[in-house]
Amino acid sequence: MTGGVMIVESCPSSTRDAPAYHDWYDNKHIPEVLRLEGFVSARRLESLDGGTFVVIYEIEGDLERAKAALSEAQSSGRLSRPEGVRLDPPPEIRYLRRRDGSH
């Protein structure tokens, strides 16, 4: 595969935990993910109602290798533990591949 994106939708566990949530994403989690093979950029977006947040990670190269690198980093403890993130239900994660010939 020739790259694509990983989209993660999540929210803070509470309004009280929102500062920890944003700090963890911006200063710990995103930099950690961007050090992994294939992950080249990240952009955070906020829903208009302010309750939900999305991170779009750009992936270059093989999506399966990037997914494997992320999985290995998570299972080995190389990624920091989530802070202030609502885990029930867990964040929604989707991978989308670049479609050849798309404009």
Give the CATH number for residue 86.
3.30.70.100
Residue 103 maps to a domain: no
Give the residue-averaged pLDDT of 61-69: 96
- Whole-number pLDDT of residue 100: 73
12 part of a folded domain: yes
Which residues sit opposite 45 in a β-bridge? 54
Q: Is residue 102 part of a domain?
A: no
Q: What pLDDT is attached to residue 15?
A: 93
Residue 42: the pLDDT is 98
Contact (CB, 8 A) for 46 and 22:
no
In a domain, 59, yes or no: yes
Total structural domains within the chain: 1
pLDDT at 101: 62
Residue 53 banded pLDDT, cuts 50, 70, 90: very high
pLDDT at residue number 99? 83
pLDDT at 60 over 90: yes
